[in-house]
Amino acid sequence: MKLNMRNKKVFVQNVFDQVFDKYDLMNDIMSLGTHRLWKKQLMNWLSPTNNKKLLDMASGTGDLIKLFINHTNDNSQIYAVDQNTQMINIGKKKFRKYKNIHWKTGRAEKLNFKDNFFDYYTISFGIRNVSNINSTLKEAYRVLKPGGRFMCLEFSKIENNHLNKLYKLYSRNIPKIGKIIVGNSAPYEYLLNSINDFFNQDEFIDLMKKNNFYKTEYRNLSGGIVAIFSGWKI
């Protein structure tokens, strides 16, 4: 399913409007809880230090935020941005005792932050859903400070043919699970299509390089079901 930029923006918004209240539950069911281990590996690789600013884009209900808090002190400043207001509201309730988290509605393609503002930019399972990946990467680069780091966790391409076949067999059931849990299979049909349409690891690294990121690299997790991408601003 190919969507132009304008249609994709509206379509993705509608998708998350339908699933926001079951989003965390479905992530746990679909990945058998493995998404939490993947996110933990991203944060371990980022290895953030104290007194820094993080932009967590497509923050959802704040999985990466919790991990960042566990690595840093109260002087670190966290900006959680998502285009879905309902998801942000859930995140605010989950983290209401933390005063160093700033929740904002916004889109990755046009950020309302000044240049050279953040030490870290993270995005987890969100970059597939933006309407323009190049604009998103340009904005990520713009708002990072020199020496700042971009990290992206995303579904990728499986290298082993046998694992790939097993994964595809399992994936076919995800819309059926969505129908049972959420009451609608369409958002999860979109999910599968967006994974299939996304770049492979080397292609995404090339995009990062074209948008000026330096020292780009990736690490495959679970045989390439997902990958963590890393790049720096110099």
CATH topology of domain 5-232: Rossmann fold (3.40.50)
Cα–Cα distance for residue pair 189/68, rounded to 1 Å:
31
Statement: residue 132 has pLDDT above 80: yes
Going by DSSP bridges, is the β-strand pair 77-82/53-57 parallel, antiparallel, or unpaired?
A: parallel
pLDDT one-digit tens code per residue, 70-93: 999 999 999 999 999 998 999 999
Q: Six-digit token pair at 45?
A: 């690789």
Q: How far apart, in Å, do the first and last CA atoms of the chain sit?
A: 37
pLDDT one-digit tens code per residue, 2-33: 544 556 666 666 766 666 676 777 777 878 88
- Residues with Cβ within 8 Å of 127's Cβ and at least 6 positions away in sequence, in order, are 58, 108, 133, 136, 152, 154
Q: Where are the domains of the chain?
A: 5-232
pLDDT one-digit tens code per residue, 41-69: 999 999 999 999 999 999 999 999 999 99
Edge-to-edge, what's the strand order for the sheet holding 53-57? 101-105, 77-82, 53-57, 118-124, 144-155, 226-232, 214-221
Exposure string over 168-193, b if 16+ CB within 10 A, otherwise e:
eeebeebbeebeeebeeebbbbbbbe
Cα–Cα distance for residue pair 226/172, rounded to 1 Å:
17
Kindly indicate the confidence band of residue 156, based on its pLDDT and cuts at 50, 70 and 90.
very high
Residues above pLDDT 90, as percent of the chain: 74
- The sign of the dihedral angle between the CA atoms of 162, 222, 18, 129 is negative
pTM of the model: 0.90
pLDDT of residue 32: 81
Give burial (CB, 10 Å; 0-12/13-18/19+) of 135.
Answer: middle
Q: How far is CA 136 from the centre of its chain?
A: 12
pLDDT of residue 31: 84
Mean pLDDT of all residues in the chain? 91
- Residue 46: name the closest of 219, 226, 223 by CA: 219
Statement: residue 149 has pLDDT above 50: yes
Statement: residue 127 has pLDDT above 70: yes
Kindly indicate the confidence band of residue 145, based on its pLDDT and cuts at 50, 70 and 90.
very high
- Residue 231: name the closest of 133, 155, 144 by CA: 144
Exposure string over 4-20, b if 16+ CB within 10 A, otherwise e:
eeeebbebbeebbebbb
Q: Which amino acid is at 52?
A: K
pLDDT of residue 27: 77
Statement: residue 111 has pLDDT above 80: yes
Cα–Cα distance for residue pair 217/211, rounded to 1 Å:
14
Using an 8 Å Cβ cutoff, are 228 and 152 in contact?
A: yes
